[in-house]
Structure 1
Amino acid sequence: MLRLIAVCLFGFLIAAPAHAQPGAQPKLRVIASFSILSDMVAQIGGEQITVVTLVPAMADAHVFQPTPSDARAVAHADVLVASGLNFEPWLDRLVAASGFRGRRIVASEDIAPLALRADHDHGHDHGKSGKGRIDDPHLWHDLTRMQAYVGNITQGLAAVDPAHAEGYRARGAAYAAELRALDAWAEAEVGKLPLAQRKVITQHDAFGYLAARYRIAFMAPQGITTEAEASAEAVGRLIRQIRRENVQALFFENIANPRLIEQIAREAKVKVGGRLYSDALSPPGGEADSFVKMYRLNITRLVEAMKRD
């Protein structure tokens, strides 16, 4: 009988969860607003954090509607990481409803955004910072700006959890170096094409930073949000431009219905180049389930499509 009790006690001890042991520090509970940001936070946070994503993979943050379960998740978080520049227009309401008391990190803080004309907004307020000016929130498509973006996440996590600050900084520095190498590769790949061939059609103006970084002309029937439908006038104007300038690279985006791009391709008699990932990753195990994989895939597909004569 004593032997049986000893065996049971031993089994209980080895099965006990690690967090039940005295002195063990619980992981930092982090909420990230959307999947691209969530991957970056996970890369920097490592084993010291758990990350919950509000807007999941393949989902559109422009039209996201938080649920009561999202509010509960935010309420219990230690840290909330957002991109900022009004990319998440629903976030302030969610935070207020949840009673969140933790630390809020804005990844785009102190990063100079690109500006778009007000008529590109299509009725949706995306970070208006002055009369006639709208800030483009899609910063992650410029890997040079991502150095400061990664730095803001790193500093925020280190401030909340100073006991593991050294690890956050080391992983943040390694990740920033990986993005610099990716930027050099992308610049070399796009640089193989003459400027006259660097023309692309996408569904909405999500790639302004990539366009500016690598000198690619992106055109879209919708503005910087997918929330509003493209007008017939805008679609017609774009089709005429495709024909006039012989644009060969048309893409649909992973967060939007491809119907509009397919219609434009049919009328302009141009082949669709496939899918680009704009505002969200693919599901785990997919072709673009990390930011680095997403960016490399986008550049590869863009270059291949723009090569067409």
Structure 2
Amino acid sequence: MRPYLLLASLALPLVAGTASARDLTAVASFTVLADVVHQVAGDHVTVESLIGPNGDPHEFEPSPKDAKMLKSADLVFVSGEGLEGWMDRLVTASGFAGTPVTASAGIDTRTMDEDGETITDPHVWNDPNNVKTWVGNIEAALAKADPANAKAYAANAKAYLAKLSALDAQAHQAFDSIPVSERKVLTSHDAFGYFGRAYDVTFLSPVGLSTESEASAAGVAGLIDQIRAEGVKAYFFENSNDPRLVNQIAKATGARPGGELYVESLSDASGPAATYEQMMRYDIQQLAKAMKGNS
């Protein structure tokens, strides 16, 4: 694992609310979730992310500063479904008195077989329709913790749900006209399953659901054969992952570089994916461009 020894927090400029005596402090596990919490919370909650921009939630190692941040939080949000395997240890170490809110509760999850074990795919946010469930769970938790601002949270949630519907429409507009046979790309690890299910896109990858997995030589060789057989012509690396293995596979197959995708982490404020909405729009555009180039 790669240690993250410094405090990683998402810089979200917030304005103090006036409807309650004290604004809430919320901590989210990673930047994508932190941004969605911020969209629903608006100006009444200070939101921080344990993992910073371009960070990998699978390989995150909490620090004492992270424990301190968690202990002082009013609310803690996790995505769940096995993404934050380190969270229970952190909650215990921090002395946080509450129970983390699982934003993904209620989502129709997908499973896959990995090394003979059935595993739930935790990357639910890569389908904006799943993020609608996040929004509902976040709004409910905020309203329970801060009833005085419940109407504001409801209004923010309603506005953000409309943006998520627009993202879904943009994705369908981008991909529905592309032949299904051309909706195939190579990526670093198996993190786009929900995206693929929603928009009928096939993602091939050398590594499974967690970046902590290691690709076997036989698995890589089989993937190279599959890429050649299926005519996959474009590959992408991910902002929070090591691109070397994907580059090696692409070189062996002749696949063209499609660029960088954001899947488990937002970019910093100066990047193309500083919010969840920007991240999805950017990924949709990059993928569609590569697929249309295949046609």
Confirm or deny a common fold (TM above 0.5).
Answer: yes
CA distance in 2, matches of 1:104, 1:257: 30
* 1:70-108, Cα deviation, whole Å (9 max, x unpaired): 000001110001101110000011001111024521101
**Equivalent residue for 2:68?**
72
**Equivalent residue for 1:221?**
206
- Structure 2 unmatched runs, 5+: 1-14
**Equivalent residue for 2:244?**
259
| Aligned residue among 217, 221, 231 for 2:216 | 231
**Equivalent residue for 1:99?**
95
CA distance in 1, matches of 2:165, 2:199: 14
**Equivalent residue for 1:249?**
234
CA distance in 1, matches of 2:131, 2:34: 14
| Aligned residue among 276, 291, 304 for 2:276 | 291
**Equivalent residue for 1:205?**
190
CA distance in 2, matches of 1:158, 1:138: 26
CA contact (8 A) 1:77 1:102 kept: no
Bigger Rg over Cα: 1
Q: What letter matches 1:69 in structure 2?
A: K
| 1:156 matched to 2:156 | no
CA distance in 2, matches of 1:102, 1:229: 35
* 1:224-260, Cα deviation, whole Å (9 max, x unpaired): 0000221111111111122222111210011111111
| Aligned residue among 24, 27, 31 for 1:28 | 24
**Equivalent residue for 1:89?**
85
Q: Taking structure 1 as reference, are residues 89 and 24 closer, same or farther at Cα in structure 2, changes over 3 Å only?
A: closer
Aligned residue pairs: how many? Answer: 279
Q: Taking structure 1 as reference, are residues 150 and 24 closer, same or farther at Cα in structure 2, changes over 3 Å only?
A: closer
| 1:189 matched to 2:185 | no
* 1:140-161, Cα deviation, whole Å (9 max, x unpaired): 0111222111100111111110
Q: What letter matches 1:197 in structure 2?
A: E
CA contact (8 A) 2:39 2:160 kept: yes
CA contact (8 A) 2:211 2:241 kept: yes
CA distance in 2, matches of 1:228, 1:198: 25
User: Shift of residue 24 of structure 1?
Assistant: 6.5
| Aligned residue among 144, 156, 163 for 1:178 | 163
CA distance in 2, matches of 1:208, 1:64: 22
CA distance in 2, matches of 1:308, 1:233: 30
CA distance in 2, matches of 1:118, 1:203: 16
1:123-138 aligned within 5 A: 132-138=117-123
CA contact (8 A) 2:233 2:254 kept: no
Q: Which runs of 4+ in 1 moved over 2 A?
A: none
- Structure 1 unmatched runs, 5+: 1-17, 121-131
**Equivalent residue for 1:117?**
113
TM-score (norm 1): 0.87
User: What is the RMSD of the two structures over their aligned residues, measured on CA atoms?
Assistant: 1.7
CA contact (8 A) 2:20 2:149 kept: no
* 1:239-298, Cα deviation, whole Å (9 max, x unpaired): 112222211121001111111111111111221111011100001121100000000110
Percent identity between matched residues is 43
* 1:152-211, Cα deviation, whole Å (9 max, x unpaired): 011111111001011011101110111011101111111110111011111111000000
CA distance in 1, matches of 2:96, 2:204: 40
Q: 2:129 aligns to what SS in structure 1?
A: coil
Q: Taking structure 1 as reference, are residues 160 and 149 closer, same or farther at Cα in structure 2, changes over 3 Å only?
A: same
Q: What letter matches 1:263 in structure 2?
A: Q
CA distance in 1, matches of 2:100, 2:86: 15
